[in-house]
């Protein structure tokens, strides 16, 4: 019940640097992959996150669209910040 996401890797999927918009693929330790959208101005912040429908949702087990990951956006966002994953993803 108490799902605890664990960020394992972050890669850049796209960006509009002029607008400060970035899209990252966030891989979690359980194999779940999410697409996270960020706006970097005035500071980096996640604007949206959703699960890629490659694997069933680890929370509700649906294999189609659901909004479960939104409830974990704060936790995932903190892990991305603490792990400096954005810097790493942009350096690639």
Q: Which of 74-90 are b and which e, b meaning 16 or more Cβ less than 10 Å from the residue's Cβ?
A: eebbebbeeeebbeebe
CA–CA distance, 27 with 36 (Å, rounded to integer): 10
Nearest distance, CB of residue 51 and Zn ion, angstroms: 7
Binding marks (x or -) toward Zn ion, 6..25, rule CB under 5 A? --------------------
Looking at beta carbons only, is 57 or 86 nearer to Zn ion?
57
* DSSP secondary structure code for residue 76 in this structure: H
**3-state SS assignment for residue 42:** coil
Binding marks (x or -) toward Zn ion, 45..84, rule CB under 5 A? ------------x-xx-----x-x----------------
Contact residues for Zn ion (CB under 5 A)?
A: 57, 59-60, 66, 68
């Amino acid at each position: 019940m108490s799902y605890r996401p664990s960020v394992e890797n972050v890669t850049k999927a796209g960006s509009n640097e002029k607008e400060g918009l970035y899209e990252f693929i966030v891989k979690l330790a359980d194999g779940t992959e999410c697409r996270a959208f960020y706006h970097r101005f005035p500071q980096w912040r996640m604007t949206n996150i959703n699960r890629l429908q490659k694997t069933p949702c680890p929370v509700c087990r649906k294999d189609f669209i659901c909004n479960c990951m939104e409830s974990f956006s704060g936790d995932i966002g903190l892990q991305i910040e603490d792990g400096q994953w954005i810097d790493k993803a942009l350096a690639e």
